[in-house]
């Protein structure tokens, strides 16, 4: 049930069988149907979700009803409103399923217990948070310094799996573009090849 989770965890820190058993006691398995919410803005984020199968998105909705996608998460990725999770303040973001999903949930209290009993887990947690921060910093840099065409090409090169599984209007939202602008970029790139 937690195969991909432990595979990913063991890539970062080698766990003993006993350590895996301890961690397993604190994990929760959750299934989401396509379009079902994992988190809604205004609720407190009670868990970090590891994606065993499926795809999710994290986004906010502005006062005009426009969605602004912060991130996607596919198999082997984590997703959460980390600020809400760490502070217990209301979430800023919505997280919903783009496909039927199987998730591994880790609550704050479960994480605290695992950190006490399996010190190696702190290394994994630090690596995940650092990786997420670096990815966010790289994305912000791309948003302010690259042309829309280069942002799209970078996205396709970095995340070909997402590009195949996510609707184009959502990719446009993630890139900070209108769907029409992304459509024009895709046409230009297609005729250039």
Q: What is the pTM of this model?
A: 0.91
Q: What is the token pair recorded at 123?
A: 């290394």
**Residues with Cβ within 8 Å of residue 160, at least 6 apart in sequence:** none
Under 8 Å between Cβ of 161 and 74: yes
Q: If pLDDT is split at 50, 70 and 90, which confidence band does 155 have?
A: very high
| Edge-to-edge strand ranges of the sheet holding 28-32 | 28-32, 101-107, 47-53, 78-79
Q: What pLDDT is attached to residue 129? A: 87
Place of tokens 């840099």: 141
Higher-scoring residue by pLDDT: 129, 38: 38
Q: Please, what sign has the CA dihedral across residues 140, 141, 145, 151? A: negative
Mean of pLDDT over the chain = 94
- Helix, strand, coil fractions of the chain, as percent rounded to 5: 50, 20, 25
d(CA 191, CA 47): 45
pLDDT in tens, 101-154: 999 999 999 999 999 999 999 999 999 889 888 988 998 999 999 999 999 999
Q: What's the whole-number mean pLDDT along residues 10-38?
A: 96
d(CA 70, CA 75): 17
Q: Please, what sign has the CA dihedral across residues 80, 84, 85, 86? A: positive
d(CA 38, CA 105): 10
Is the predicted pLDDT of residue 193 greater than 80, yes or no? Answer: no
Q: What is the token pair recorded at 153?
A: 């090409």
**Within the chain, how many helices (H) and strands (E) appear?**
9, 8
d(CA 103, CA 3): 11
């Amino acid at each position: 049930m937690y195969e991909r989770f432990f595979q990913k965890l063991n890539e970062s820190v080698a766990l003993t069988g006993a350590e895996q058993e301890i961690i397993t006691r604190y994990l929760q398995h959750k299934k989401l149907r396509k379009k079902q919410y994992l988190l809604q803005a205004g609720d407190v984020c009670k868990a970090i979700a590891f994606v065993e199968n499926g795809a999710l998105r994290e986004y906010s909705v502005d006062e005009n009803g426009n969605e602004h996608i912060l991130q996607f998460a596919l198999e082997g990725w984590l997703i959460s409103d980390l600020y809400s999770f760490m502070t217990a303040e209301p979430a800023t973001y919505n997280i919903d399923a783009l496909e039927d999903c199987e998730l591994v949930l880790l609550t704050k209290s479960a994480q605290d217990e695992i950190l006490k009993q399996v010190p190696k887990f702190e290394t994994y947690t630090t690596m995940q948070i650092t990786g997420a921060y670096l990815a966010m910093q790289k994305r912000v840099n791309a948003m302010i310094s690259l042309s829309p065409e280069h942002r799209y090409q970078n996205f396709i090169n970095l995340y070909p799996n997402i590009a195949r599984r996510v609707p184009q209007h959502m990719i446009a939202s993630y890139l900070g573009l209108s769907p029409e602008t992304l459509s024009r970029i895709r046409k230009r790139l297609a005729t250039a090849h």
